[in-house]
């Protein structure tokens, strides 16, 4: 029996695939490679190139492989882009996600681990954020994730589709073989590392007037290896016949943009130039979570998510792969 991983050639998806394969699991990846990288997948991985909203393709995959569950990553994931192009985000993330869930049900597959997001909470009313906090997103990306959470909850009641929706915070870091490569790159840590390496002249700080100690936004960073492990443990949780759940994945410790930049300077020993600009629309000032529920239910803990470890692993991968997954010229 195999696990279908949608978006498995992406950043978090590829690390999760690596984790599953290391356990001896059979894995099938579906990815349209619009933002993922075929090079991030081991050559032995069964791979289909296409959209999760292609019902005919999804049906073919389930017929050609004994799929028993699905880990669903595939989505556009740029907050600013979602504000500028909401139609594309709802069509890609929500419409295609609903089509996928329908295809799974028709194939008799009733287990889904869903890659959700802390963006469903919006601007938090209190910290740390627990799973029962009010969900009111501040951008279309967050609304799309919340809509799919609602779809899953409804499909559980009506069709018995069991799920774990993992609301995680800022993924960062790298493994020995896999790291973060987006084009364009909008995430803070890889951009600061590019500034430290000289690939870009400076890093932009979006907003310095937030109601935080140093005026810059605070985020809860979690190592990509810890995220991958949580997805695998969530699948095990569902295989044991447990009820559907919504779970936060986070370190429980927030770092400001300026703190991240200073950590990069210390880890790399290199200067980092900064430029301050206006805040991006839809960006909350502070996001820090309580992940005790996930720790208890999944017997999971964020073992690699202290900021120096995150930065060090990302920097080491960057040094080994200065062009990311792009071919070396």
Residue 75 CA to residue 94 CA, distance in Å, equals 9
How many other β-carbons are positioned within 10 Å of the β-carbon of residue 133?
Answer: 19
**Strands 254-256, 218-223: parallel, antiparallel or unpaired by DSSP?**
antiparallel
Tokens read off for 66 = 């004994």
DSSP E strands in the chain: the ranges are: 2-6, 26-31, 46-49, 67-72, 111-117, 162-168, 170-172, 203-206, 218-223, 245-249, 254-256, 274-277, 286-287
Cβ distance 183 to 36 under 8 Å? no
Count H helices and E strands in the chain, helices first: 11, 13
User: What is the separation, in whole angstroms, between the first and last Cα of the chain?
Assistant: 40
Cα-to-chain-centroid distance, residue 96: 18
State how far the Cα of 45 lies from the Cα of 18, in Å rounded to an integer: 10
> Is there a catalytic annotation at residue 159?
no
- The active-site residue out of 11, 89, 141, 168 is 141
Of 178, 179, 326, 203, which is closest to residue 264 (Cα–Cα)? 203
Q: Cβ distance 285 to 212 under 8 Å?
A: yes
Which residues are tagged catalytic? 141
């Amino acid at each position: 029996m195999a696990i279908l991983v949608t978006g498995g050639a992406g950043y978090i998806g590829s690390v999760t695939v690596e984790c599953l394969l290391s356990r001896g699991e059979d894995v099938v990846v579906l990815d349209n490679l619009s933002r993922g990288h075929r090079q991030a997948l081991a050559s032995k991985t069964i791979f289909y190139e296409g959209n999760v909203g292609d019902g005919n393709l999804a049906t073919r995959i389930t017929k050609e492989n004994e799929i028993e569950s699905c880990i669903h990553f595939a989505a556009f994931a740029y907050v600013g882009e979602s504000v500028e192009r909401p139609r594309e985000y709802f069509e890609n993330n929500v419409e295609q996600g609903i089509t996928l869930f329908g295809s799974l049900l028709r194939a008799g597959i009733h287990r889904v681990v869903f890659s959700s997001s802390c963006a469903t909470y919006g601007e938090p009313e209190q910290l740390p954020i627990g799973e029962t906090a009010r969900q009111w997103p501040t951008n279309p990306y967050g609304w799309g994730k919340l809509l799919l959470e609602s779809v899953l909850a409804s499909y559980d009641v009506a069709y018995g589709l069991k799920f774990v929706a993992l609301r995680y915070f800022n993924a960062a870091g790298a493994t020995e073989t896999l790291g973060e490569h987006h084009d364009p790159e909008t995430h803070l840590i890889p951009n600061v590392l590019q500034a430290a390496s000289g690939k870009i002249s400076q890093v932009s700080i979006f907003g310095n007037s937030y109601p935080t100690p140093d005026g810059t936004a605070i985020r809860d960073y979690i190592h990509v290896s810890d995220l991958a492990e949580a997805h695998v443990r969530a699948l095990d949780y569902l295989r044991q016949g447990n009820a559907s759940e919504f779970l936060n994945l986070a370190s429980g410790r927030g770092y400001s943009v300026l703190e991240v930049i200073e950590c990069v300077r210390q880890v790399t020993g290199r200067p980092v130039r900064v430029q301050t600009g206006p805040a991006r629309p839809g960006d909350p000032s502070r996001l820090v979570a309580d992940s005790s529920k996930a720790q208890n239910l999944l017997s999971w803990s964020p073992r690699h998510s202290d900021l120096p470890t995150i930065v060090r692993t990302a920097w080491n991968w960057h040094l080994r792969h200065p062009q990311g997954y792009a071919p070396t010229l």
